[in-house]
Structure 1
Amino acid sequence: MGVDSGLPDFRGREGFWRAYPALRQQGLSFEDMANPARFAEHPELAWGFYGHRLKLYRETVPHEGFAILRRWADRMSRGAFVFTSNVDGQFQNARFPENRVHECHGSIHALQCLNVCSSDTWLAEEFHPLVNEKTSELVSPMPRCPRCGALARPNILMFGDWAWIDVPYEKQRERLEAWIATVQRLVVVELGAGKTLPTVRRFSERNARQRLIRINPREPNTNPLHGVGFEGGAATTLKLLDLARG
């Protein structure tokens, strides 16, 4: 979904390295960087990667597909609820209500203590990262935990991550489940969810009950018991479907 707004596609090493050539020179993959151990081993590099992403996501304007989904939701008696593995906050930027979004992998716009001195999380609004593009290292001050002063990290579920604070997202999940219980004929529009980390696919297939619309440029196949698949990008396919429905 975010790629069509101009955000980097981290699928595969080549996509990641195109976005961060300095990390290619060091032989580092997305999995290497999206690991909490990187903050302990090389915090300037870890925050250079996440700081660059935070700044990029703040500056990115959501594409037209978000507005199309919102218009569809406005016509539904129960509206819509967003279930997303994206951490970029683009749905909120596109004016989807905060209480109708479940970010199952967390949000880059929130921080937590690296040492988990408490279960607190806080917004990253006061953190304005400056990154050396040649080295991908943060050159501005790193964020600190307001409680204990330890290094802060993004409140995002990473690889090998046993210290992620999921309290805010458990509350989101509870709201999502309560909403689903009120909907008689749930339709799931799934956008760009792959098989490598199938969290979103599993959610879609568990809840769609033959009313799944799967939009995917690489893996659009779906079991007929679940619904239909369309091969294509999110923005373009949503526009075509919106035109087709008049």
Structure 2
Amino acid sequence: MSADYRRCAELIRAADGLLITAGAGIGVDSGLPDFRGPQGFWGAYPALGRARIAFEQIANPAAFKARPRLAWGFYGHRLNLYRRTVPHAGFAILREIGESLPRGAFVFTSNVDGHFEKAGFAAERIAECHGSIHFLQCLDGCHQGIWPADDFQPALDEEQCLLTSEFPLCPRCHGIARPNILMFGDWGWLAERSDAQEARLHAWRRQVDRLLVIEVGAGTNIPTARLMGERMNGPLIRINPTQAQVADDKNVAVAAGALAALRSIAASLV
């Protein structure tokens, strides 16, 4: 066992509450695509690659206005993918670590896939700072409602990245609905659900005396989750195969993928 993993075990045993901060990298071991760089994105969505449409252009409310079948082709594919993908065993390891501490765990994630709840974390202990693909809102903003996407079952032409079934519709104006996700260039995102989650996070934080942050797969390109953990001023375990640097020696840098690192941490606690 390496000294880094022994130090992780010491930090866990000294904590009374665990904040898990997570970015897209945590999902790679579940088989989710890595969108880093245009080639990674276009490899996952070749139709968008052929059209030279970047992630920032399709993950944008303007795309739902200009090319709604293409925009929902992209997000419909992601919704189906997230629904059928099983979160890897590292999620269960994090849940078990949290359950071993007096104040439990809270999750703060920039991911929109809903996989922490799918892996058994309580919904009231999850903050999704960029929203969730499993919820919808009106594209035209006719009202402030947010509702579950459970009834929407997108059918797709995956070769063309197009929605072939009916659009999800706003229950009030019957116009097209969009995901309740913060996109690029997005002034219409309804943040009420995410704001309430974050308020619960800060209420929980006030009850924790000896906080530990475990950050998993949170990079610097979209640094929201990374910055949240750093602002907490407690010890930090940073798990990242390529961006694991930490500011000082009270923290631990683990340069590994999520699942391998979490399995090694679990072994260090036995």
TM-score w.r.t. the length of structure 2 is 0.89
Matched residues in 1 for 2:158 and 2:228: separation? 37
Matched residues in 1 for 2:241 and 2:38: separation? 18
Q: 2:46 aligned with 1:21, yes or no? A: yes
How far is 1:41 from its partner?
A: 0.3
Match for 2:193: what amino acid? P
User: Equivalences for 1:143-154 in 2 at 5 Å?
Assistant: 143-154=168-179
Higher relative contact order (CA 8 A, sep 6+): 2
Deviations 1:50-107 (A, max 9, x none): 0000000000101000000011011000000000000000000001000000000000
How far is 1:226 from its partner?
A: 5.7
In the alignment, which of 196, 207, 221 is matched to residue 245 of structure 2?
221
- Match of 1:239, SS state, is helix
Matched residues in 1 for 2:135 and 2:41: separation? 23
How far is 1:244 from its partner?
A: 1.5
Question: For this pair of structures, how many residues does the alignment match?
Answer: 245
Matched residues in 1 for 2:143 and 2:152: separation? 20
**Kept after mapping to 2: 8 A contact 1:205/1:226:** no
- Match of 2:232, SS state, is helix
Residue of structure 1 equivalent to 2:83:
58
User: Any runs of at least 4 consecutive aligned residues in structure 1 with deviations exceeding 2 A, and if so which?
Assistant: none
User: Equivalences for 1:34-183 in 2 at 5 Å?
Assistant: 34-183=59-208
Matched residues in 2 for 1:208 and 1:17: separation? 38
Q: 2:262 aligned with 1:238, yes or no? A: yes
TM-score w.r.t. the length of structure 1 is 0.98
Matched residues in 2 for 1:84 and 1:99: separation? 13
**Kept after mapping to 2: 8 A contact 1:100/1:176:** yes
Aligned Cα root-mean-square deviation (Å) = 0.8
Match for 2:175: what amino acid? A
Q: 2:55 aligned with 1:30, yes or no? A: yes
Match for 2:75: what amino acid? Y
Matched residues in 1 for 2:269 and 2:148: separation? 39
Matched residues in 2 for 1:147 and 1:226: separation? 53
Match for 1:222: what amino acid? V
How far is 1:46 from its partner?
A: 0.1
Match for 1:41: what amino acid? A
Q: 2:216 aligned with 1:187, yes or no? A: no
Matched residues in 2 for 1:20 and 1:37: separation? 19
How far is 1:225 from its partner?
A: 5.8
**Kept after mapping to 2: 8 A contact 1:110/1:123:** yes
How far is 1:208 from its partner?
A: 3.8
* Percent identity of equivalent pairs: 53
How far is 1:7 from its partner?
A: 0.6
Matched residues in 1 for 2:180 and 2:136: separation? 5
Between 1:236-245 and 1:101-110, the stretch displaced more is 236-245
Matched residues in 1 for 2:77 and 2:173: separation? 25
Give ranges in structure 1 of 5+ residues lacking alignment: none
Residue of structure 1 equivalent to 2:10:
none
Match for 1:214: what amino acid? R
How far is 1:160 from its partner?
A: 0.7
